[in-house]
Chain A
Amino acid sequence: MKEKPLLLAFVLVAALGCDSLPGRPDPADRYQRPSEVEDFALLYATHCSGCHGADGRNGPATNLGDPLYAALADPVEVRRVIAEGVAGTPMPVFAQTGGGTLTEKQLNILAEGLKAGLNGSESASRLRGAPPLTAKAGVRGQASTAQLARGEQAYATYCARCHGAEGTGGASGGSLLEPAFLGLVSDQALRTTVIVGREDLGMPGWQGAGERPMTAAEVSDVVAWLGSHRSSAGDAASGVSIK
């Protein structure tokens, strides 16, 4: 007779406790078709983190995790780049319509998530005078001689300290003029890196590169000057020789 309340308590605990047992399948682990995933963090982790880094930083490709990037990025342009990729660079096409795996909805989620910021977004007060992140569409090799001269001047002012006087590498920054690098990088990627910087790797952005922040014109000029060093040798059409 004495055991009865004890038994009752046990049954009660067992019945109520069963729902919180560790073996109970967690609905969060439920299988989802890849096309049904709508969680930004998961989409970013499976499709972007390989090149752009686990939290958008410390990856080899463009720094998407900087709050400055989130504040300046144009979500329409971000979505377009994810969907269509960037021809001639390692950025692939992700839209299903172009042979990728992401649906229209997933592209929107990624663009909105990147705009909201992987690590938050920079406050507007610090952005006064920021050059526009997206350049007006320009065609390679159309910079005027005058612009190139201004670009060289801007390079000497803001970049040479680390990347060397000639642009071929210096104290703490590697060469920017390697034909293979310039052949695979887009002007937009150069521009984004000049403006946002790579704080994760010790490279300042437009505000910290020199004694005063870079102007929008200086950013465009330096990108044009860097781009003018591209050569057509080494593009997909030409051969490579084994040493």
Chain B
Amino acid sequence: MNRLRAIGKWFDDRLALGRLYDQSLGHRIPFSSSSWWYVFGSATLLCLIIQLVTGVCLALVYVPSPDQAYASLEYLDYEQPLGWYLRGLHFWGSNFMVALVTIHLVQIFLFGAYKYPRELTWMVGSALFLATIGMAFTGQTMRFDQDAYWGVEIIVSILGRLPLVGEAATHLLQGGPIVGAETLSRFFTLHVFVIPATLIGLLVIHIRLVLVLGISEYPEPGKVVDPDTYADEYEQVVERTGIRLMPEGGGKDLVFSALVLMAIVLCAALIGPKIPNGPADPSLIHTVPRPDFYFLSLFAAFALMPPDLESFVIVYVMPLAVVLLFAVPFISRGGERHPSRRPGAVILVILVLTGLFTLAWEGVVSPWSPEMDAWSGVPVQPRFVEDRSPLEHMGATVLQAKQCRNCHALDGAGGKRGPDLAGVATRLTEDQLIRQVLQGGGNMPAYGNHLSPHEVSALVAFLTTLHAEGQAPARDSASWARSARESPGSR
């Protein structure tokens, strides 16, 4: 034992490990900051470590060339023992990392922990947040499947709208004027060298700042941050209640990190990696590309906004949002920290998160996209076929063959771009249906030139049967008034 201690001392004399411990893991933090609310940063760090380890392992097999990237993923998924599991860990690690870094950022914002003297910590943290998003996007591109291909198309289209630098930036990112053979190499370089190096560099600064400035104490209502006195007060709190981060203060971090680790391991084992959805080939028209969940909000926002607004949002709103993110500690530098005294901050968080989640849900459903296979692949439900005449059957066939179903669902099945036709006969009279089919209107194109009179007659004959049992079909007001006049008691 004594010999072991002697060896330890020999190393300590040279590496000063004890002093390193005192200044890092052993540094003193306020007792109040050993809280379940303070565990998200360390869990994000754990995710980063998982991503680095699994990423290095994946890079041993992955081939970053357009003709082989997809095949190397399929090799990992189906051939290499547990290759799929490695992909699963990396995929779920990234999902958790994006989620946790976001939660960490929201928690810091709500607790006012960015206030004096931690402005720089917040700014570096914001840069880390953006770098993580950058990793997630470039990582999605590594799959080089349909999602990746169209995701890149969208991002470079966004970049291309920037004034002055737009064209040069897209050229640089794509390695040419269009998405081509060089593009994947560019994104691979970003994903594996540039962004991780930036991320680790920023992380060193972030942790350095946390160690130098100390972890913020748990906010108390009524306790105000005053830049003139804060440093002294914080020192006194640490003096009075301070505990060492390790082993005393960091127990909750360890427990939470262990839970996150277990969750990632389980998700990878039970749900598995994201299966690439077809090679990056723009000639495949039967594709429904969707970004990974963290970009669904952006995807939906751009799909839903009027085209005139796109450039304005790209050139002004998005950069302004980034500037505002970095400027938070200068907009509210001191004052109250507890969320109960900062209703504006709480409302802002609720609004932003509600907006993001609502948009993300819209992105999942994406009702604006026609379902291009519905006409031939989504059957007319038997209850819309039963008890109908040959003409009405023909009308249902016309509805399918003319691809109406790609935009119009029948009782939920089919495209969501136009209204569901299941109850259309209660909303439109026969004449209105004919007019709508022939002339279109309300976002629907006119089909008068694409349908023969027989087809229109058959189609409308079918559509007029689409009302719930016991629910009267729509009638025009003139005929309603006439029938009411003729037999007053019958309505």
Contacts and interface: CB of A to CB of B under 8 A. Distances in A.
A226 to B, nearest CB: 10
A149 B390 CA distance: 23
A21 B82 CA distance: 10
A73 B246 CA distance: 79
B389 interface: yes
Interface in A10-57: 18, 21-25, 27, 29-31, 33-34, 45-51, 53-54
Interface in B59-97: 74, 77-78, 82, 84-85, 88
Given A46-B373, A46-B377, A60 B389 contact: no
B271 interface: yes
B400 A185 contact: no
Contact of B391 (A59, A90, A180): A180
B401 A179 contact: no
Given A50-B378, A90-B400, A184 B454 contact: yes
B126 interface: no
Contacts of A21: 85, 269-270, 272
A185 B390 contact: yes
A176 B389 CA distance: 8
Contacts of A25: 77-78, 84, 272-273, 275
Contacts of B388: 60, 174
Q: Main secondary structure on chain B at its contact with chain A? A: helix
**Which of B279, B394, B455, B458 has the largest count of A CB atoms less than 10 A from its CB?**
B394
**Range for the number of chain A residues in contact with chain B:** 35 or more
Given A60-B397, A180-B461, A50 B377 contact: yes
B392 A174 contact: yes
Interface string A177-189: 0111101110000
B458 A240 contact: no
B389 A174 contact: yes
Contacts of B434: 240, 242-243
B446 to A, nearest CB: 13
Nearest to A18: B82
B457 A234 contact: yes
A213 interface: no
A184 B74 CA distance: 47
B376 A181 contact: no
A243 B464 CA distance: 15
Nearest to B414: A50
Interface string B260-274: 000000011111110
B29 interface: no
B375 A201 contact: no
Contacts of A33: 278, 284
Given A23-B270, A60-B380, A175-B390, A50 B375 contact: yes
Nearest to A172: B387
B142 interface: no
B135 to A, nearest CB: 22
A116 interface: no
A31 B278 contact: yes
Nearest to A236: B452
Interface residues of B, number: 62
Given A51-B401, A242-B438, A24 B84 contact: yes
A200 B386 CA distance: 9
A81 interface: no
B77 A242 contact: no
Contact of A60 (B377, B400, B457): B400
A34 B286 contact: yes
B385 A60 contact: yes
A208 B450 CA distance: 40
Nearest to B435: A242
A78 interface: no
A61 interface: yes
B411 interface: no
A209 interface: no
B228 to A, nearest CB: 56
B405 interface: yes
A92 B385 CA distance: 20
A49 B398 contact: no
A53 B133 CA distance: 45
Contacts of B386: 58, 201
A235 interface: yes
Contacts of B462: 60
Nearest to A180: B457
B127 interface: no
**Which of A18, A30, A31 has the largest count of B CB atoms less than 10 A from its CB?**
A31
Contact of A47 (B278, B376, B431, B458): B376
Given A34-B284, A53-B379, A90-B398, 12 more contacts: A18-B85, A23-B85, A31-B278, A50-B378, A50-B380, A58-B386, A60-B393, A61-B393, A90-B397, A180-B461, A201-B386, A236-B453
28 contacts: A21-B270, A22-B270, A23-B273, A25-B275, A31-B276, A46-B376, A51-B397, A51-B400, A53-B385, A58-B385, A60-B395, A90-B397, A90-B398, A90-B402, A174-B390, A178-B389, A178-B391, A178-B457, A178-B461, A180-B454, A180-B455, A181-B389, A181-B394, A184-B394, A201-B386, A234-B453, A242-B431, A242-B438
